[in-house]
Structure 1
Amino acid sequence: MRQRPTARLTVPDFRNLGVLLRLLLLAEGLRLLWWAIEAPMRGHAWTGWWREGALYEPVLLTVTGVLAWLAPWLRRLPPLRALWMTALLAMVVALLWRAGLQRLGLMVPPLASVVVATLAVWLAVVGYFDWRHQRLSPALAEARLLALQSRMRPHFLFNSLNGVLTLIRRDPGRAEAMLEDLADLYRALLAEPRALVPLREELALARAYLAVEQVRLGDRLRLAWQVDTAPDDALLPPLTLQPLVENAVRHGIEPREEGGCVTVEAFRDDDHLVLFVRNPLPPPQAPPGARGNGLALANLRERLDLLYDAEARLRVYESEGEFVAQVRLPIRARDPVSRAPRRSVS
C-alpha cells in the first residue's frame, strides 16, 4: 500500500513562551524593516511610526493572545486547515481594529494596505516556523540512528552475547533476562517514532540498557535509582534518558579501573519534570576521547528546542568530582500526570 505523504507545514504551539516571543520579535522586525525601506522614499518622519503603531500593535497583541487561547484546538486540526484559520483570524482582527479606530476619528491606513500587510506578516511567520521545524525535525531520526549505531558497535554486541553465553550454564535465569533486555533495547530503537512517550517507558529502556552493561562490567558498574516519586505518566521525547545513561557508562565508568556509580534521579518540580544523571569524571590519565564528542547531547538539545522551545533546557556541568546532566522540561496541563510530591531544584 502506498503511504500518504505527510504534511510539510506545521502548526507552532502558541502557548509556548518561546514561540510567542519569536512571533512578536519577527513581526516587530518586519515592521521596522518595512519602515526603514519606505520612510526615506516618502519622506516620512518618525512620528508616522507611532501613528501607524496605533493599529499595528493592538492587532499584533490581540492576534497573539487569541492564538495562545486557541492553541489546543488548532493543534487538533489538520496543519493546512489550522494555518488557514490563523490567517483568517489575523485578517478579521486587523479589519475590526481598523474599523474601530476609524470610528473614533483616528487616521488609519487604506484597506488594501491593511490586507496586504496582514498577509505579508502571516506568510513570514508561517514560513519562519516551518523552516525552523524542518531544520530541527531530523534530530529525532538522528537520535535513533546514533543509538542504533551505538547498540551495533561490535564491542557492545559481542560482549553482550559473550555475557549471555557465560551465564547460560551458571545462571540460566539471568541469561534469559539479559536476552530480554537486549530485545527490549532493539525493539524500542526500531519502533515507530512517537513525539512523546511516558517517563515509565524511558526508565524501562534505561534499566534494560544498564542491566546489559552491568553483566559486562560486573561490580565496576554500580547504580543508584532515585525515581520513586517521579510522575511515571509524564510525557517526554523518546530517547531522552537512554543517551544520558549511555554517556555516563562510556565516559564515566569504562575509563576507570575501579568503576563507579551512575545515579539516575527523576522528580516533579511544580509543573516541570526534572531528570538528573550523574557519573564520576574520567581519570586525569584517560585519553581525550574518554570525555566524548558531545553528539548525543547536541542532538538532545535540538529535540528539546524543537518540542519545547525556551521552556525546556539541558544543562551539563561538573560538581564534586562528578559529571552531571540535567534535563528540565514542562509537564503540560493535558498530560495525565499523577500528583507526585514536589521538590525544589536549583
Structure 2
Amino acid sequence: MNPATEPDLLPDFRNMGVILRILVFAHLALFVYSLIGLANWSTWAQRFSDSVLWLEFSLLPALLLLGLASPLLGRLPYNYGAAGVCLLAMVGGSIGRAVVLPVEGGEQLLLAGAMAILAVSLTLLGYFRLKQRSLSPRLSEARLAALQSRIRPHFFFNSLNAVLSLIRSEPIKAEQMLEDLADLFRVLMKDNRQLARLDREVDLTKRYLNIEAVRLGPRLKVDWHIDNMPGDAAVPPLMLQPLVENAIYHGIEPALEPAPIQVNIFRIRDQLHLDVRNPLPPVDAVRQHQGNGIALENIRERLLLHFDAEANLTTQAVNGYYQVHIVVPYREIAHDDAIAPFSGR
C-alpha cells in the first residue's frame, strides 16, 4: 500500500510521548505569546508567570478528558475524531479555567481562551498528522527489513528437507509440518500495518517451534511462563518469533548440551513485559554464529514507531544466559481480527 493512501490516525493521548510533545509545544507557544507586544522587559517575568497559571489550569483538565476518551476517539473516522478532540480540549480547558481560576466578566475571556485552545488543538493535530505521514515510509522500510531478516534461507531449506524425510515414514506429521510452515510464511508475507494480539503472536511462535523441533529434536527445549500473560495485549506483529529464532540460532544450534530457552510474558499494572533468554554459546562457537543485529534493531525501531517513548528494549548477558527484555504499555485489542486466522485442523 502506498503510504500516501494510508488512513490518518489520531494520536493516542494516553501515550507519554504524545503528552510530552503537547506540553512542550504549549509552553513554547506560551513563551512566544508572552514576548508579543512586550513594551518593557522588566514586566516579562510577571506576564509569563500569569500566563503559565492560565495554561496549566486549561491544559491539564483537557489532557485528562482526552486521555479518558482516547480509545473511543480512535474508533471514529478521522474528521469526527478530530472534531471530538477539539471539543473536549475546549470543554476541559474552559471548565478548568472557570472553576479554578475564575475572573470577573469572564464570558468574553473564556470565549477567547476557548478559541486559543481550539487554535492550539488544530495546530497540534496537524503536527501529529504530518508526523504520522512522515513516519509511514519508515514503517514500511522497517516491515521490509523485518521480512528480509526473518526468512533465513537455511531455515526454509532445512524445513523442506525435514518434510521430505517425513513424507514416507510419518505422512501425518509431514502434513502438519507443511501446514505450520505455510501458516508461518503467510503471516510473514502479510502486510502487517497494525498492532496484533499477543496470543496470536505466541501461537505463531509455537508453530515456528514445531517446525524447528523436527530438525533439532530433543535439543530444543522451551520453557513457557505465560500463565499471567494478557492475551488481548496489543504488540507489534512479528516481534516474538524473531526473538525465539535468534535464541535458537545463537544459543541452541552451536551448543553441545544446550539449556532450554525461557520465554516469560507477564503484565505489571499498565505495562506488558516480554522476556526471552537463551543460553550463551561456547566461546569458540561465537564467531561462527555472529549476527548483525538486524532483528533487534528492527524490533526496537518498530517499538518506537508504535509506542514512542513508552516502549523499551534492553539486552544483557547474565548468569550464563543472554536476555532480551521488552516493555510496552498495555493496550488491549478486544477482537481477534488483527491477524488473519490460521488454517484450522
User: What is the alpha-carbon distance in structure 2 between the residues aligned to residue 119 and residue 212 of structure 1?
Assistant: 56
My pick for the range that moved more, 29-38 or 151-160, is 29-38
Does residue 1:159 correspond to 2:158, yes or no? yes
- Structure 2 counterpart of 1:231, one-letter code: P
For the 8 Å contact 1:227–1:265, the answer to whether it is kept is yes
TM-fit CA distance, 1:50: 1.7
For the 8 Å contact 1:142–1:299, the answer to whether it is kept is no
User: Match of 2:31, SS?
Assistant: helix
TM-fit CA distance, 1:109: 10
User: What is the alpha-carbon distance in structure 1 between the residues aligned to residue 329 and residue 283 of structure 2?
Assistant: 37
Find the counterpart in structure 2 of residue 22 from structure 1: 21
My pick for the range that moved more, 114-123 or 248-257, is 114-123
Find the counterpart in structure 2 of residue 56 from structure 1: 55
TM-fit CA distance, 1:273: 3.1
For the 8 Å contact 2:63–2:89, the answer to whether it is kept is no
User: What is the alpha-carbon distance in structure 1 between the residues aligned to residue 256 and residue 134 of structure 2?
Assistant: 42
For the 8 Å contact 2:272–2:329, the answer to whether it is kept is yes
User: What is the alpha-carbon distance in structure 1 between the residues aligned to residue 110 and residue 265 of structure 2?
Assistant: 55
My pick for the range that moved more, 29-38 or 309-318, is 29-38
TM-fit CA distance, 1:75: 1.4
Aligned length, in residue pairs? 336
TM-fit CA distance, 1:248: 1.0
1:267-282 residue pairs with structure 2 within 5 A? Answer: 267-282=266-281
Find the counterpart in structure 1 of residue 316 from structure 2: 317
User: Match of 2:184, SS?
Assistant: helix
- Structure 1 counterpart of 2:213, one-letter code: Q
TM-fit CA distance, 1:250: 2.1
Structure 2: gaps of 5 or more residues: 337-345
CA 1:213–1:138: 2 relative to 1, 3 Å: farther
User: What is the alpha-carbon distance in structure 2 between the residues aligned to residue 230 and residue 58 of structure 1?
Assistant: 39
For the 8 Å contact 2:233–2:332, the answer to whether it is kept is no
Find the counterpart in structure 1 of residue 125 from structure 2: 126
For the 8 Å contact 1:55–1:108, the answer to whether it is kept is no
- Structure 2 counterpart of 1:224, one-letter code: D
My pick for the range that moved more, 54-63 or 117-126, is 117-126
Find the counterpart in structure 1 of residue 263 from structure 2: 264
User: What is the alpha-carbon distance in structure 1 between the residues aligned to residue 313 and residue 324 of structure 2?
Assistant: 7
My pick for the range that moved more, 150-159 or 30-39, is 30-39
User: What is the alpha-carbon distance in structure 2 between the residues aligned to residue 268 and residue 246 of structure 1?
Assistant: 23
- Structure 1 counterpart of 2:144, one-letter code: L
User: What is the alpha-carbon distance in structure 2 between the residues aligned to residue 152 and residue 95 of structure 1?
Assistant: 55
CA 1:312–1:289: 2 relative to 1, 3 Å: farther
TM-fit CA distance, 1:155: 1.7
1:231-242 residue pairs with structure 2 within 5 A? Answer: 231-242=230-241
User: Match of 2:315, SS?
Assistant: strand
For the 8 Å contact 2:150–2:295, the answer to whether it is kept is no
- Structure 1 counterpart of 2:320, one-letter code: G
Structure 1: gaps of 5 or more residues: 338-346
What's the Cα RMSD here? Answer: 3.8
CA 1:8–1:42: 2 relative to 1, 3 Å: farther
CA 1:260–1:132: 2 relative to 1, 3 Å: farther
User: What is the alpha-carbon distance in structure 2 between the residues aligned to residue 103 and residue 225 of structure 1?
Assistant: 58
TM-score of the two chains, using structure 2 as the length reference: 0.79
